[in-house]
């Protein structure tokens, strides 16, 4: 059997994308998903995303996200943006989308320049620990404000935090290293749980960074620009009391190639 797949990338965070409305791919096979995400033995990707039939009234589709290790995980912001572009390509939506992912409902819009804006979950809990901050934007993020971010060994330093006693019992965390560039502009490098390496961009990560920067007084505006190794993203939000609402992640999402998965018997 041959399963059609597409490859998408959003600021270098790359995903294998499958239209699974007819259940062509089994979700319960972590080994197969891991192999498909492998950059040598498979297609290659930071994760795999299934577009499935909607289960909630008013939704256009449902999102299922798997990390490159083959396991289903929490929300992927760049993956969600890429999935919206995929849904447009498939003719399911035009320039607006409503869908449900593991963290709940999302809305999205596509601009005439093909930038995808995705509404993220509200944030009402932010933990500050010296130069570090922890918050959950659909996925858990530890943020370290530091210097000389381009020179860091993100894989080693990120793994040390991800596997620390503090996070191990909670299922781990993603780790973001952040350095201010100009007013309301931050450089971000992210170690991703489930990829267990640095990725070129992380959507829930930069969303967490923007909110953390604002909450700690490092950003003055509620629209923040994030520079990541794979490009640029922007995040906007409204602070209502102690809750961050109307949180939007915006950036490019592109189809890179398509092909067929040849399933071995």
Ligand X SMILES: N[C@@H](CCC[C@H](N)C(=O)O)C(=O)O
Active site residues: 76, 202
Among 9, 136, 204, 250, binds ligand X (CB under 6 A): 204
Place of tokens 């060994």: 153
| Contact between 78 and ligand X per CB under 6 A | yes
Among 193, 210, 226, 235, binds ligand X (CB under 6 A): 193
| Contact between 194 and ligand X per CB under 6 A | yes
Distance of closest approach, residue 147 Cβ to ligand X, in angstroms: 25
What x-and-dash track marks residues 162-191 binding ligand X by CB under 6 A? ------------x-----------------
Burial class (CB in 10 A: 0-12, 13-18, 19+), 241: exposed
Place of tokens 């950003």: 219
Q: What are the binding residues for substrate?
A: 13, 67, 77-78, 174, 192-193, 203-204
CA distance 97 to 175: 29
Q: Given the rule CB under 6 A, which of 31-39, 74-82, 159-167, 256-264 is the region that contacts ligand X?
A: 74-82
> Which of 34, 46, 43 lies closest to 5, judged by CA?
43
List binders of ligand X among 206-265 (CB under 6 A).
none
CA distances from 66 to 27, 34, 49 (A): 9, 9, 6
| Contact between 136 and ligand X per CB under 6 A | no
Among 74, 100, 184, 250, binds ligand X (CB under 6 A): 74
49 or 152: CB nearest ligand X: 49
Place of tokens 């995705």: 118
Distance of closest approach, residue 206 Cβ to ligand X, in angstroms: 8
| Contact between 9 and ligand X per CB under 6 A | no
Tally of CB atoms within 10 A around 107: 13
Tokens of 56: 């909630």
CA geometry: angle 9, 10, 11, nearest 5 deg = 110
179 half-sphere exposure, CB direction, 13 A CA radius: 12
Distance of closest approach, residue 226 Cβ to ligand X, in angstroms: 12
Place of tokens 């992380």: 202
First-to-last CA distance in the chain? 9
24 or 142: CB nearest ligand X: 142
Residue 263 near residue 3 (C-beta atoms within 8 A): yes
| Contact between 202 and ligand X per CB under 6 A | yes
Distance of closest approach, residue 75 Cβ to ligand X, in angstroms: 6
Give the containing element (helix H, strand E) for 57.
Answer: none
Using CB under 6 A as the binding criterion, the count of chain residues that bind ligand X stands at 19
Binding residues for ligand X (CB under 6 A): 13, 46, 67, 73-74, 76-79, 139, 174, 192-195, 202-205
């Amino acid at each position: 059997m041959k399963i059609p797949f597409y490859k998408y990338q959003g600021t270098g965070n790359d995903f294998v994308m499958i239209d699974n409305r007819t259940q062509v791919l089994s979700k319960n096979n972590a080994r197969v998903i891991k192999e498909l995400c492998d950059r040598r033995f498979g297609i290659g990707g930071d994760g795999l995303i299934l577009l499935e039939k909607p289960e909630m009234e008013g939704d256009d589709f449902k999102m299922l996200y798997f990390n490159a290790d083959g396991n289903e995980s929490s929300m992927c912001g760049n993956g969600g943006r890429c999935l919206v572009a995929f849904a447009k390509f498939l003719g399911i939506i035009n320039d607006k989308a409503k869908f449900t992912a593991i963290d709940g409902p999302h809305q999205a819009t596509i601009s005439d320049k093909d930038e995808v804006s995705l509404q993220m979950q509200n944030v009402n809990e932010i933990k500050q620990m010296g130069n570090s901050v922890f918050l959950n934007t659909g996925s858990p993020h530890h943020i370290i404000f530091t210097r000389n971010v381009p020179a860091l060994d993100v894989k080693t330093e990120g793994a040390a935090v991800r596997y620390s006693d503090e996070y191990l019992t909670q299922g781990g965390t993603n780790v973001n290293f952040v350095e201010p560039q100009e007013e309301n502009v931050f450089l971000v490098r992210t170690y991703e749980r489930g990829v267990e390496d640095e990725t070129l961009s992380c959507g829930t990560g930069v969303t967490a960074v923007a909110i953390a920067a604002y909450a700690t007084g490092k950003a003055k505006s509620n629209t923040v620009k994030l520079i990541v190794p794979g490009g640029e993203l922007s995040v906007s939000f409204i602070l209502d009391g102690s809750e961050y609402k109307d949180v939007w992640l915006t950036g490019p999402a592109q189809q890179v190639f398509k092909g067929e998965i040849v399933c071995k018997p």
